[in-house]
Amino acid sequence: MSDNLEKIVSEICTRYGNDASRMMDVVRDAHARFGFVSSACADAIAAALKTPRVEVESLVSFYAFFAAHPRAKVVIRLCNDIVDVMHDGHKVWETFEQELGIKTGETTKDGAFSLEYTPCIGMCDQAPAALINDVVVTRLTADRAREIVRELKSGSDPAGLVKEFGDGNNAHELVRAMVVNNIRERGAVVFDAEDMQPGTGLKNALAMSPAEVIRAVKTARLRGRGGAGFPAGMKWEFTRESAGSFRTVICNADEGEPGTFKDRVILTERPDLLFEGMTIAGYAIGAEQGILYLRGEYAYLQPFLENVLNERRASGLLGQNSAGKAGFNFDIRIQMGAGAYVCGEETALISSCEGLRGDPKTRPPFPAQRGYRGQPTAVNNVETLCCVTRILEKGPGWFSQIGNGKSAGTKLLSISGDCKKPGVYEIPFGITLQQLLVKAGGADAIAVQVGGPSGSMVGPKDFGRQICFEDLATGGSIMIFGPGRNLLQVVQKFMEFFVEESCGYCTPCRVGNRLIKERLDRIIAGKGEKTDLAYLEQLVEMVKAASRCGLGQTSPNPVLSTLKNFRQCYEALLLKETGGMQPAFDLKEAVKDAENIAARASVHC
Amino acid sequence: MSEKISFTIDGVALEASPGQTILEAADAAGIYIPRLCKMKGLMPFGSCRLCTVLVNGRPQSACTQPAGQNMTVENNTEKLNDYRRSVIEMLFVEGNHYCPFCEKSGNCELQAMAYRFGITAPRYPYMFPDRDVDATHPDVMIDRNRCILCGRCVLTSKAVDGKNVFQFTGRGAHKKISVNSAAGLGGTNLKVIDKAAEVCPVGSIIKKRVGYAVPVGQRKFDARPIGSEIEEEKVK
Amino acid sequence: MAKPKLATASLAGCFGCHMSILDIDERILQLVELVDFDKSPVDDIKEFTGRCRIGLIEGGCCNEENVHVLKKFRENCDILVSVGECATMGGIPALRNTIPLKECLDEAFLNGPTVHNPSGRIPDDPEIPLLLNKVYPCHEVVKIDYFLPGCPPPADAIWAAVAALLEDKPIALPYELIKYD
């Protein structure tokens, strides 16, 4: 048995050149083979990759999709983000629990099923959703959950759960997903197919010098679409000018911000546009290697995307003398993630590509100076790279005149929550929230979360604000909350998410978010008092200022923005008078165990 | 390259060589910027965030941020010191720090930092986590109750001892220090003379049979606050 | 004018902090000039006789009676001070906080290697206060105004604190007097 294990592990490691920096792939394959990474398996991997075993443990224990202990053959991951909650997710989860006879977090005695919660899987427009192994199931109901369990128990493969395929490439033989695109509005840059001429952008780029390509991107005023809005041309210029033995283009497709799913639709419907953009980026910065970092939740798209890459290789667009350009040898590999939101942070993403736990790196140096394997690296968002292709195809002038004059181009918005038409909207920059709400059929909203949990919660008095870099900058997640929604419950959910997803590297984020969550829970339980608001404000400010990376620097935003825009929600719950006591202390609760043990009641309660 | 960089900390002008961090330059000038994870001779890790300063108004960790020409650094301000108290208090409530019987008491950098800031009790609630002790090694033990996840042992084992005894496992609240053997610390190649066995700022990695050797009153931080040795440079 | 009153209590502590109070040596004569002791083990007054200026609390809350006493102190004292590590963070008794109560009792009264308990029962006389699920620092049960760290806090720290409070000044301990051990 153990010889066998070593042999299999050795084969897997050989597949990746026994290169320790490919440990993500090695562990992923070993996991797929054995269901978990046992201690013996960790030893075998360590031996083959010539790396300490604790490094293997370190990686395995970091990612939610990896386990060091046996997991069931079928792992059902219930997406529990706020939009799923709003769409009666609880009924679905309870049904799964009842039908399987276990609680979420447990495995059935026969080892057949595990139930787990997972944060947003990028299906908010078709919630409630779940991942059953790699298979995505959407629009779940209690009845459907019952059927799913019945089918799985009768031995059916999870892939067999998909009865009807979604639209477009979701029905492609390499995808075969029930996921739907929900493209509600097509804009001129990404989804308007009318005038798109595949290959033209790349051809035009290769006819220019790399410096000219960078200038074109600068002239187009293209800024990063991931949320931070850094000028793409400037990023490329820094990368190109940094000394190094090689350079790398990385596309960040770790779309993990709850409520966003537009990259999923791009990857499904416009993969060539993206890969063309990566190739142009490679040419511009002088890279030979591109990496698409694909979040583990989108594993169902991997075979399809690999196939697109193979087709591009076959037609000469990738590989030696790419697209016929002598001396330009560019190729792309897909790096799968494994369930870690923090890997959307570019330096954490690089760590993950290097076969490490997804810890963000110290900055400076910035990736443009020293990124992937210590060499200059440009990390761009999926949508940004699609824009690049179109800019090179149609010219920077064409691109920069789209938008509101300041922010150029279109923005893909992922809209979900309380609205009639959830889905992806490609809209020129400058649209107001009010206009957007009307389009989506959610005009009665009481609040809108712009930019996901790390963004801000906006109230009706600010619905006149514009989506653009100068006003409401966003990576594209728009969650709509209608009348009657409990906004503090939303905030609570978001903080739960950040507590779960903090990498734990730095003190403020690792501890501070838990403390914020504790006090929020206390207030929601009706045990808060006025001083708790000042307490929260101090924590929020400190965690934002002192955290090491973008996760911690934005994680208190749900509390910060609601304390500002919805303070009355907090105030309504506060106790007026505490008489010197700590309202959170509950004597009844504290003596309950002893009462049970002694079989008598407390005389003090 | 040898040109000096001029910048200020709290209005005091000082110089740095290219590549030198704000913290290193401050140390040389006798200005103390509080820190826990940073240790002389080790790559900065940047985990504790105690050395957070404002660089031209923006928060940065002084241990990782290179000094830059004409930078304006704020260090000893009311606000930053409040953040620092927060960091210290967070570390205290996150673990189980029983100073009264800890071998490291009096020589502990976390405790000393709390003394320096005059902290009498944390404002945050104690978490009382359930953590374990590894006593499998004949000469050295790990008490994870006291670990503040600074990373010194990890870096030192790699960079100074040329071993790989320590590494972090887990994520977020579950992050912990682990060792390179399924059998515990005793299964690793750690030797009691290794540098990694003595860099722990708190009482988490301690040598066996040498506790309480120094009487109360003569321990490292009994009389002088942590950082005094750097501040005294200024007087010279 | 009547002297201000001072009350003290030892909850889940070891009386070490009270020993440290007595350790102020001859200054105790000064202290009785300045204050009257009210409810305290020092004079064995069991119930509050009136409003107190200062309450000094040793020990955290490990049982229902500790909670009751602490609440009475909060009701009857203008200023409440947590004295020592146990009052402040639970101290040694809080070592049980990571272990379920039932397991603690079983180990102490049934399964421990040195236990001799032919009855096989966990003590359950109604006179014995029920234990809490864990040991609580005092400030997690009632509002606490000041903390004197130490195990025990040095007598000088206690003296400095009480003297300051009697002069209506906030407690500000110098470096030498803030010690957690």
Q: d(Cα A400, Cα A408) in Å, to the nearest integer?
A: 5
Fold of the A499-571 domain: de novo design (two linked rop proteins) (1.20.1440)
Backbone angles phi, psi at A46, to 5 degrees: -60, -40
Beta bridge partners of residue A333, listed in sequence order: A291
- Position B214 in a domain: no
Give domain status of residue B147, yes or no.
Answer: yes
What is the per-residue pLDDT for A2? Answer: 64
Q: Does B211 touch chain C (CB under 8 A)?
A: no
Does residue B221 lie within any of the structural domains? no
Per residue in B150-207, pLDDT tens?
999 999 999 999 999 999 999 999 999 999 999 999 999 999 999 999 999 999 999 9
Within a domain: B212: no
The verdict on domain A74-163 having CATH code 3.40.30.10 is: yes
- Work out the pLDDT band at A194, boundaries 50, 70, 90: confident
Q: Subunits that touch chain C (at least 3 Cβ pairs < 8 angstroms)?
A: A, B
C97 touches chain B (CB under 8 A): yes
Q: Does C95 touch chain B (CB under 8 A)?
A: yes
Interface check B216 vs C, CB under 8 A = yes
Which of A340, A504, A539 is nearest residue B175 as measured by Cβ atoms? A504
- pLDDT category at A4 given cuts 50, 70, 90 is very high
Q: Which residues of A touch B110 (CB under 8 A)?
A: none
Closest alpha carbon to A344 in A296, A304, A411: A296
- Are B99 and B199 in a shared domain? yes
Q: Is the pLDDT of residue B233 over 90?
A: no
Closest CA to B151 of B35, B66, B60, B59: B35
Chain B residues within 8 A of A542 when measuring between CB atoms: 82-83, 86
Cα angle value B87/A551/A386 (rounded, 5°):
160
| Percent of chain C's residues with pLDDT above 90 | 98
**Under an 8 A CB cutoff, do C91 and B100 touch?**
yes
CA distances from A3 to A7, A8, A9, A67, B71 (A): 6, 9, 10, 22, 60
Q: Is the dihedral of CA A218, A222, A226, A227 positive or negative?
A: positive
**pLDDT tens-digit readout, C69-91:** 999 999 999 999 999 999 999 99
Does C133 sit within 8 Å of A598, measured CB to CB? no
Cα separation, B176 vs B171, whole angstroms: 8
Cα distance from C17 to chain A (closest Cα, Å)?
Answer: 24
Which residues of chain B neighbour A535 with C-beta distances below 8 Å? Answer: 123
Interface touch B171/A61, C-beta < 8 Å: yes
Mutate: best of C89, C132, C140, C148, partner B, most B CBs <10 A: C89
Cα angle C81, C85, C90; round to 5:
100
pLDDT value at A1 more than 60: no
Compute the distance between CA of residue C158 and CA of residue C171 in angstroms, rounded to an integer. 10
Q: Are residues B125 and B189 in the same domain?
A: yes
Contact status of B110 with chain C (Cβ, < 8 Å): no
Helix (H) or strand (E) holding A90, with range, is: helix A89-100
Of A289-293, A597-601, C7-11, give the lowest mean pLDDT range.
A597-601
| Contact criterion met (CB below 8 Å) for A258 and A387 | no
Write the pLDDT tens digit of every residue in A95-130.
999 999 999 999 999 999 999 999 999 999 999 999
pLDDT, position B2: 63
Q: Give the domain CATH number at B133.
A: 3.30.70.20
Q: What are phi and psi of C50, to 5 degrees?
A: 180, 180
d(CA A561, CA A214): 37
Q: Do A600 and C126 touch (CB under 8 A)?
A: yes
Average pLDDT over every residue of A221-234? 94
Strand partners, A75: A114
Q: Min CA distance, C118 vs chain B (Å)?
A: 32
- Check CB contact under 8 Å for B178 and A58: yes
Which among C98, C134, C180 is the top mutation candidate for probing chain B, defined by the most B β-carbons within 10 Å of its own β-carbon? C180
CATH no., domain A184-400: 3.40.50.11540
The answer to whether position B217 is within a domain reads no
Asked if A362 and B173 come within 8 Å (Cβ–Cβ), the reply is: no
Report chain C residues whose CB lies below 8 A from the CB of A602.
64, 130
Residue A317, pLDDT > 90, answer yes
CB contact under 8 Å between B225 and C175, yes or no, is yes
Q: Which of A535, A585, A595 to mutate to probe the C interface, most C CBs <10 Å?
A: A585
Mean pLDDT, chain C, rounded, equals 96
Chain B residues at the A interface, defined by Cβ less than 8 Å, are: 44-50, 52, 59, 61, 64-66, 82-83, 86-87, 90-91, 93-94, 123-125, 127, 148-149, 164, 166-175, 178-182
Answer CATH for A410-481 from 3.10.20.600, 3.20.20.70, 3.40.980.10, 3.90.1310.10? 3.10.20.600
Min Cα distance B22 → chain A (Å) is 13
Q: Does B183 lie in the same domain as B146? A: yes
A515-540 in b/e form (b: 16+ CB < 10 A) is bbbbbbbbbbeebbbeebbebbeebb
Give me the mean pLDDT over the B209-229 stretch: 94
Residues of chain A whose beta carbon is less than 8 angstroms from a beta carbon of chain B are 39, 43, 52-55, 57-58, 61-62, 340, 357, 362-364, 499-508, 510-512, 514-515, 518, 535, 538-539, 542, 545-548
Among candidates A55, A503, A548 on the partner chain, residue whose Cβ is nearest the Cβ of B171: A503
Give the nearest partner residue to C90 out of B102, B126, B130, using CB atoms.
B126
**pLDDT, position A203:** 96
List the domain range (segments joined by +) for residue B185: 85-207
In a shared domain, residues B71 and B156: no
Same domain, B48 and B137: no
Least confident span in A5-9, A544-548, C1-5? C1-5
Interface with A, mutate which of C52, C64, C77, C121 (most A CBs under 10 A): C64
Using an 8 Å CB-CB cutoff, list chain C residues near A600: 124, 126, 130
Residue to test with chain C: of A515, A588, A592, A593, most C Cβ within 10 A: A593
Q: Which residues contact A406 (CB under 8 A, 6 or more apart)?
A: A429, A468, A469, A470
Tell me: pLDDT of A197 over 90: no
Q: Is the pLDDT of residue B1 over 70?
A: no
Distance CA C2, CA C5 (A): 9
Please tell me whether residues B34 and B112 are part of one structural domain: no
B102/C contact by beta carbon, under 8 A: yes
| Mean pLDDT in residue range A345-352 | 97
**What is the domain count for chain B?**
2
For chain C, which domains are there? 5-96+131-177 (3.40.50.700)
B201 & B91 share domain: yes
Distance from CA of A604 to the nearest CA of C (A): 7
**CB–CB contacts below 8 A, A to C:** 66
| Beta carbons within 8 Å of C4's beta carbon, 6+ residues apart | C34, C35, C36, C52, C53, C54, C166
CA A295 to chain centre: 7
Percent of chain B with pLDDT over 70: 98
Q: Regarding beta strands A456-458 and A447-450, do their DSSP bridges make them parallel or antiparallel, or are they unpaired?
A: antiparallel
Residue B234, pLDDT > 80, answer no
Compute the nearest-CA separation of B121 from chain A (Å). 15
Tell me, yes or no, whether B69 and B91 share the same domain.
no
d(CA B230, CA B29): 8
Q: Give the separation between CA A279 and CA A294, rounded to whole angstroms.
A: 17
Query: Residue C28: CB partners within 8 Å, gap ≥ 6?
Result: C22
* Residue A71 pLDDT > 90: no
**CB–CB contact C181 B223 (8 Å):** no
Residue B19 shares a structural domain with residue B111: no
Positive or negative, the Cα torsion across C52, C54, C56, C61? positive
Asked if A416 contacts A309 with a C-beta cutoff of 8 angstroms, the reply is no
Residue B57 has pLDDT above 80, yes or no: yes
Are B91 and B202 contained in the same domain? yes
Q: Are residues B41 and B89 in the same domain?
A: no
- Report CB contact under 8 Å: C92, B100: yes
Chains that touch B (3 or more CB pairs under 8 A): A, C
Asked if pLDDT for residue B3 goes beyond 90, the answer is: no
Q: Which of B31, B55, B76 is the last residue of a domain?
A: B76
- The neighbours of chain A, by the rule of 3 or more Cβ pairs under 8 Å, are B, C
Residues of C in contact with B115 (CB under 8 A): 175, 178-179
Give the per-residue pLDDT at B235.
56
Average pLDDT of the residues in A440-468:
97
Residues of B with Cβ-Cβ distance to A499 under 8 angstroms: 172-173
**Hey, are the CB atoms on B149 and A61 less than 8 Å from each other?**
no
**ipTM of this predicted complex?**
0.97
Cβ neighbours of C181 in B, within 8 Å: 99-102, 105-106, 216
Q: What is the pLDDT of residue B236?
A: 53
Q: What is the rounded end-to-end Cα distance, in angstroms, of chain B?
A: 28
Q: Are residues C181 and B114, on separate chains, in Cβ contact within 8 Å?
A: no
What are the tokens at C143? 């509002």
Does C91 reach chain B within 8 Å, measured CB to CB?
A: yes
Best of A60, A496, A511, A548 to substitute, by most chain B Cβ atoms within 10 angstroms, is: A511
| Tally of CB atoms within 10 A around B232 | 12
Q: Are A342 and A503 in contact (CB under 8 A)?
A: yes
